[in-house]
A and B are shown apart, each in its own frame.
Chain A
């Protein structure tokens, strides 16, 4: 005996849900495809909100609590929207040895936020990565998807200034 199952309608008329639907279809709308689908949602919308989690969970017939458990287990996923700019400091061993902690404390000092947080004005998010694999260029920082190597606290501050200046 099978229960009738009708796929839920997307949370909004936003056309980007089609991308999410396409991923789920490619994976046979199977619960196994949960992580891959969450990747698509995050890539498309920037983060995973409750609506998105609910839609994906019900579409793939995954219990709600399991979907939430998976989304919060993996640090690549974020449940909050990121700031206008993101600054990812690599905290891999090579970067740590070559001064990443100083970069991080410079950021914390200037922006008054901790890693994983976004400034109150929504301009800058600070994140850490476990290792970008650019150890030859330590310490490395990713400014809005661009990797920069051998970064000093001064370089970092200049970039922050540029971001805040451009936006004011």
Chain B
């Protein structure tokens, strides 16, 4: 594969696409598939065949279009977007291709949900068929890799990433360029690249969507990273709970190998890179670098103290670069348009865009990509469309079990790493759960503590026993049998876990409790002193079910 050959594939693909007068894109990402979008796609195929339109109209399975709650979603080349499409609607939609869209199914795209987004990571999502490499190549895919291999040196690539100001999208926000240069400089015979796709935050599905919608973008990012740091082998650690993402990644790897974009002597250079999948098996702690490495090595996913950092001693004891899916997905555009271009998006310290999985008590649930620095209010009320059923906003939770709950007073705060941390939450991997007055904040805190307790690996004492004790205390508070000294003990344990736990899971496990204690102290007080749950959540579940 040479740059010319790649360009030829792209040309041919664009030519093929241009032959069609019409195009119907059906979302075949997990959200829409669970609303039977596969049968919608089949109906279009059948209807097109019945009409003999095979040369006139293309029906294509594509990735996520974002508005998951309104699925199945279908878009046409004319720019119409349809929601809640069923197999029975296929004929009507095809009939309307030459005229006005079918009004009863139209999903308006001139609304903030679509207009306020800025798509870099998701630029191809919903447009390309994730199971065909030609389509990715046709939309400039692997062009950045070609450029890197033929025109750049590894230090130049690292420099470009440094210049972009990109920070790790897995949660902690460590500068990506700095990480790359550390691994590049580390001494070692073999170096490894790992892509962390063990998306474990309950309430986050950004990585799954990227992998399902545009898997080649992640492979290209990993290839560029491998070239930059001098690695020849890589692993994608992906959750076994994401069968569709796994299938599409496997297909993508096979296709890239067939075209010679993965494997030995790529593009006729001395650069070789092989990549394989490793399936996670349901352990949130494996999002922690050292635990993830242990898991890839086939062991129990328990973290170990750092240093040594994986950049010096990682997988099989060799220097290892670990980045998250979304981080790798940002690399190709950075190389294509330059680090300078990327650094102009976002805020001073948080560059670029961030993908959020917007869910909970918000009208438009789904996947959104926004520039860093946008306010929470814009995300929740503009893009998210506000709270349904005329209810009131209460809090937004970011960062999952390691993050916190922020009340209304923070709605105008810009979304960036520093601001979120200062407010007592974290950016995290991008889960954003909106809550209204029907949510009890103590119950939410207990939910996350229960999660952390279940996910604690059990290696270090504060996390193993501390999360259990905190969960018990929160249970007593929600059962309204707790006393004021219990609250003091809860705070004491927050401080203990934060300062003495071995890894990030234990250190950040108190965050949901601390943030709710800080901003919703009155709710704790109501449970403890007045023995009542203001939101009417606690203690009612059993009655509701029976």
Contact = CB atoms under 8 A, between A and B. Distances in A.
A145 to B, nearest CB: 9
A36 B297 CA distance: 10
A153 B541 CA distance: 12
A70 B541 contact: no
A138 B439 CA distance: 15
A33 B68 contact: no
A35 B278 contact: yes
Nearest to B540: A102
A132 to B, nearest CB: 7
Interface in B56-84: 67-69, 71
B203 A93 contact: yes
Given A73-B283, A74-B281, A94 B200 contact: no
B203 A92 contact: yes
Nearest to B298: A34
Contacts of A153: 544-545
B241 A70 contact: no
A70 B278 contact: no
Contacts of B448: 93
A102 B544 contact: yes
A149 interface: yes
Interface string A93-114: 1101110011001101100000
Contacts of A77: 281-282
Contact of B281 (A31, A35, A66, A101): A35
Nearest to A132: B241
A90 to B, nearest CB: 8
A15 interface: no
Interface residues of A, number: 46
Contacts of A94: 202-203, 359-360, 365, 433
B279 A36 contact: yes
B136 interface: no
B205 A134 contact: yes
B200 A131 contact: yes
A88 B137 CA distance: 38
Contacts of A106: 545
A34 B278 CA distance: 11
A69 B433 contact: no
B34 interface: yes
Contacts of A160: none
B27 to A, nearest CB: 11
A74 B302 CA distance: 11
Nearest to B397: A93
A75 interface: yes
A102 B545 CA distance: 6
Contact of B202 (A33, A38, A92): A92
B546 interface: yes
Interface in A9-34: 31-34
A147 B300 contact: no
B30 A147 contact: yes
A58 interface: no
A50 to B, nearest CB: 19
Given A31-B298, A136-B31, A149-B35, A130 B282 contact: yes
A129 B202 CA distance: 9
Contacts of A33: 298
B271 interface: no
A75 B205 contact: no
B539 to A, nearest CB: 12
Interface in B308-367: 357, 359-361, 365-367
Contacts of B278: 35-36
A153 B279 CA distance: 32
B451 A133 contact: no
Contact of B35 (A62, A96, A101, A137): A137
B68 A137 contact: yes
A105 B203 contact: no
B435 interface: yes
Contacts of B466: none
Given A35-B298, A105-B542, A137 B240 contact: no
Contact of B541 (A73, A101, A131, A133): A101
B143 interface: no
B365 A75 contact: no
B242 interface: yes
Contacts of B208: 133
Contacts of B33: 147
Interface in B424-458: 431, 433, 435, 439, 444, 447-448, 451, 455, 457
Given A75-B282, A109-B545, A129-B241, 8 more contacts: A73-B457, A101-B541, A130-B455, A134-B30, A135-B203, A135-B357, A138-B365, A140-B34
21 contacts: A32-B298, A34-B298, A34-B299, A39-B240, A39-B281, A62-B298, A74-B281, A74-B283, A93-B203, A93-B359, A94-B203, A97-B359, A97-B435, A98-B361, A105-B544, A105-B545, A106-B545, A109-B545, A134-B30, A134-B31, A135-B68
